[in-house]
Amino acid sequence: MKKSLLVLSMALVFFVCGASLAFAAVDPYGTILPSDNSELNSDSGKFGDGSSLRIEENENKNLGYIVKGNYAKFSAVDFGADGAAKVKIEVATPNAAGSIAFLADDPKGTPFATVNYEPSGDWQKYQWFEAPVTGLTGAHDLYVVFTDGDINVRGISFEAAGGGGEAEPAANPATGDNGIMLYAILAVAAAGAIVLSRKSLARRQH
Q: How far apart are CA 6 and CA 14, in angstroms?
A: 12
**How much of the chain exceeds pLDDT 70, in percent?**
62
Note the pTM of the prediction, 2 decimals: 0.71
Choose between 77 and 182: higher pLDDT. Answer: 77
* pLDDT for 92 beyond 80: yes
Q: How many CB atoms lie within 10 A of CB 123?
A: 18
pLDDT tens figures, 94-141:
999 999 999 999 999 999 999 999 999 999 999 999 999 989 999 999
Q: Which is more confident, 32 or 206? A: 32
Class of the domain covering 26-172: mainly beta
SS3 180: helix
Whether the per-residue pLDDT at 170 is higher than 60: the answer is: no
Q: Where are the domains positioned within the chain?
A: 1-24+175-206, 26-172
Rounded Cα–Cα distance for residues 80 and 61 (Å): 28
Closest CA to 34 of 2, 82, 80, 66: 66
Q: What contacts 162, CB < 8 A, 6 or more positions away?
A: 82, 85
What's the whole-number average pLDDT of the chain? 79
pLDDT at 83: 96
